[in-house]
Amino acid sequence: MGVRTANVQDGDMGETLASLAQTIHGRWDHDPAESYTARLLNGEEDELLKKLAEEASEVIMACKDDDHDHIRYEAGDLVYHLLVTLERYGVTLPELAGELNARMR
């Protein structure tokens, strides 16, 4: 497990996701030796997809422990890896929002 983030404050999810997605989008041409995101975007497809599955499992394990802070921490890893996955496969956040909006009833 990595170092848990200290002193986390609430934020605006829409703004945060948009900002993180923009950062990830800008990482395509960064040096993979210096940017983990660039490595996931340009590296072996399975490296990213395995990581996505691993992060989902870590959320599940944190839920089984009923550990609030750990769930939040692992959810952060999962959402980051999901955003990298969406970027790699060309699905934008507005498109995802449209998908979710279309299901609202």
Ligand X SMILES: N=c1c2ncn([C@@H]3O[C@H](COP(=O)(O)OP(=O)(O)OP(=O)(O)O)[C@@H](O)[C@H]3O)c2ncn1[C@@H]1O[C@H](COP(=O)(O)O)[C@@H](O)[C@H]1O
Contacting residues toward ligand X, per CB under 6 A: 1-2, 20, 23, 27, 30, 35-37, 58, 76-77, 80
Nearer to ligand X, 23 or 98 (CB): 23
Q: At closest approach, how far in Å is the CB of 101 from ligand X? A: 25
Contacts of 49-58 with CB under 8 Å at 24 or more apart are: 49/85, 51/81, 52/78, 52/81, 52/82, 52/85, 55/81
Report how far residue 84's alpha carbon sits from residue 102's, in angstroms, rounded to the nearest whole number: 23
Q: Which residue is nearest to ligand X (CB)?
A: 2
Q: At closest approach, how far in Å is the CB of 36 from ligand X? A: 4
Q: At closest approach, how far in Å is the CB of 77 from ligand X? A: 5
